[in-house]
Structure 1
Amino acid sequence: MVDDDEAIREALDDLLMSIGFRCLSFVSAEDFLARADRPGIACIILDVRMPGLSGLELQERLNADGGRRPPIVFMTSYADDTTRMRAMGGGACDVLGKPVDAHILIASLNSAIAAA
């Protein structure tokens, strides 16, 4: 998960671990990109607006890398049509609004991972 909001990272980490997911949290897109062993990541939960590199810019970088890219589920407080179209056009599996319903997030993650 990549989100600059510590409270969201902690809450989602607790939720995902409670249902058996192993979760890695990153405070920024740059923090995520600095991690060398990304091939083991099954799905990315990604915030759209963050200081520095945005979630959409991170998606573009991952797409440009040309290698295996894990599925992406965006979560955002800014789920306008332009953002949604840009994310989905870049291959995102879903764009969920914050605050996100836990059941919807889990269903979205399971769907994204199954389709990968």
Structure 2
Amino acid sequence: MTRTAIATAYLIDDDSITLELMSGIVESTGVEPVCFSSAEAFLDAYSPRPCECVITDMRMPGVSGLQLHKVLQQRYAVPPPLIIVTGYAEVSAAVEAMKQGAFDFVEKPINGHQFLEKLQAALSLSRQLHQQRLHLATREARIALLTPKEQEVLQAVLDGLPSKDIAGKLNLSVRTVENHRARIMEKLRVNSAMELMRDFMMPVASR
């Protein structure tokens, strides 16, 4: 197995004892623990991997676990699954974070069995998300081949507009729109409007 295929758990906590505990649990399953004492240090070092999850304490000096979750959502079209480690009094905030896209939360004191169950579930989702990340990268590379006008026509097509309406919206003739559509299909390597919609309106997997 190559290093890039190893499952990775990013562990973030300003408490060294908790960090050591989580690291030991993670490592016992063959998953690679990568530890950070702050969210800032993690953000400086992070780059997406094929199989990964982020496990972060909710309350830390500087960037909190909730703030880290928001930053990852803003920076990455397909952010990694994130598990929040929380105290009893903070459960309601963790549940709210899940509504905003966080994967799950675990309570302190950490239950090893529950912790591992949620870790494995997050890593399983991560493999799906990585495939989406690859699809997105391919899609963006193909879209970059289009001219600005072709990109406008593409967006209008994805919005469901017929050629006549696209022509009116972009101040083009219907024939010109049809020519643009033909070149778009060729450059994006699709053979039908259905294939175009399927490949270029790809939803992100549910968390």
TM-score (norm 1): 0.90
Amino acid of the structure 1 residue aligned with 2:86: T
Counterparts of 1:66 and 1:38 in 2: how far apart (Å)?
A: 10
Say which structure, 1 or 2, has more relative contact order (CA 8 Å, 6+ apart). 1
What is the 5 A alignment of 1:93-104?
93-104=103-114
2:13 to 3, 6, 15: 3
Contact 2:86/2:94 (8 A) holds in 1 = no
Higher-Rg structure is 2
1:82-93 aligned within 5 A: 83-93=93-103
Structure 1 runs (4+) greater than 6 angstroms displaced:
none
Secondary structure in structure 2 of the residue aligned to 1:16: helix
How has the CA–CA distance of structure 1 residues 19 and 66 changed in structure 2, closer, same or farther, with 3 Å as cutoff? closer
For structure 1, list consecutive stretches of 5 or more residues without a partner in the other structure: none
Aligned runs of 1:43-54 on 2, under 5 Å?
43-54=53-64
Contact 1:79 1:95 in 2 (8 A): no
TM-score (norm 2): 0.52
SS at match of 1:38: coil
Counterpart position of 2:120:
110
**2:37 matches 1:39:** no
Structure having the larger proportion of residues in helix: 2
Deviation at 1:103, TM superposition (A): 0.3
**Percent identity of paired positions between Structure 1 and Structure 2:** 33
